[in-house]
Amino acid sequence: MLKANIIEKLNAQVNAEMFSSNMYLQMSAWSEDKGLAGAAEFFKKHVPEELAHRDKFIHYLFECGASVRIGALEAPRADYNNLVEVIEAAYAHEKKVTAMINDIANLALDERDFNTFNMLQWFIAEQREEEVLFRGILDQIALVAFKGQSGEAMFHINQYLQRLAQTL
């Protein structure tokens, strides 16, 4: 049996993963609007990935005989000044999700809930990969001195994201 405080946090994480999916869908739509097909494809790849994360938490709650409670979702930010801002926002968001997962892992240890702690190991590794991914894109952005302006650097980053999307 899961403790109530663990169930509450796992349900909050279900919502957070759904928010992440909507956030990436909005980022993809923003990119599409700006004619950035590579970036649009890259962000779109994250949409089902985040829903798969949601489903892992839901499946775990079911396995443990705990109730799933879907809460209201905040609308994701829709306006950005440029693509650099979008990537920075995605990176900041992934760092926030990492902190949320770490927080649940911490609570699981405090509660001696080793099943939940064990289930979270997959997410801990996944969050490391997500952060590495976005840090890598920011490195590329710095390499070509892209500050969000139209031109060769933006063309390069859009193509880079298109190639990256094929690997996700």
Contacts to ligand FEO by CB under 6 A: 17, 20, 50, 53, 94, 97, 130
Which residue's CB is nearer to ligand FEO, number 17 or number 113? 17
Determine the Cα–Cα distance for residues 139 and 165; give it in Å rounded to an integer. 17
Determine the Cα–Cα distance for residues 23 and 138; give it in Å rounded to an integer. 19
SS (H, E, C) 75-92: CCCCCCCCHHHHHHHHHH
Shortest Cβ 122–ligand FEO spacing (Å): 11
What the block records as the tokens of 46 is: 């994250």
Shortest Cβ 123–ligand FEO spacing (Å): 7
Which residue, chain included where needed, has tokens 């289930």?
A: 119
Which residue's CB is nearer to ligand FEO, number 13 or number 31? 13
Which residue's CB is nearer to ligand FEO, number 95 or number 156? 95
Non-local (6+) Cβ contacts of 119 within 8 A are 60
Shortest Cβ 53–ligand FEO spacing (Å): 4
Q: Which residue number has the CB closest to ligand FEO?
A: 53
